[in-house]
Amino acid sequence: MSSDNLVSMRVNSSLLPRFVGKTVRLTCRPIKLTAAGWTVQASDGGEVTVTLLSDQLTTDTYFEVIGSVASGTSIKMFRSMNLGNDLDMTLVNDTINLMHDPRFYNKIFCE
């Protein structure tokens, strides 16, 4: 297994187009459950469609989706993690933006 398969970057909705075909982590809150899956709100306020595994429904207000980016607005879920009912999404988004800032990204996440 290559190291690329082990890395899953944290993203918000605006970063999804840069990661099509890659595994990511999206912190979000569910908005609406449809036949296609969840429509969720990402940390930056954007909406993303998450294709669910059949038994992966959340009972918490916030959760993290780990999955493959199918398009700039959708993720195919591999698994999820409940994050509770009290999460500062502004702080989450600020952290994601810092992680992807070129001043830090190239020093921390690239070889």
Across the chain, which has 111 residues, the per-10-residue mean pLDDT values are: 63 97 97 89 98 76 96 95 96 94 77 56
Task: Write down the pLDDT at residue 87.
Answer: 97
What is the domain partition of the chain in residue ranges? 3-106
What is the CATH T-level fold of the domain 3-106, as seen in this structure?
Answer: OB fold (Dihydrolipoamide Acetyltransferase, E2P) (2.40.50)
Task: Write down the pLDDT at residue 68.
Answer: 97
Helix, strand, coil percentages in the chain from 3-state DSSP, rounded to 5? 25, 45, 30
Task: Write down the pLDDT at residue 5.
Answer: 54
Radius of gyration from C-alpha coordinates of the chain: 14
Task: Write down the pLDDT at residue 2.
Answer: 42
Write out 74-98 in H/E/C secondary structure. EEEEEEEEEEECCCCHHHHHHHHHH
Q: List, in sequence order, every residue forming a beta bridge with 23; answer none if it has no partner.
A: 68
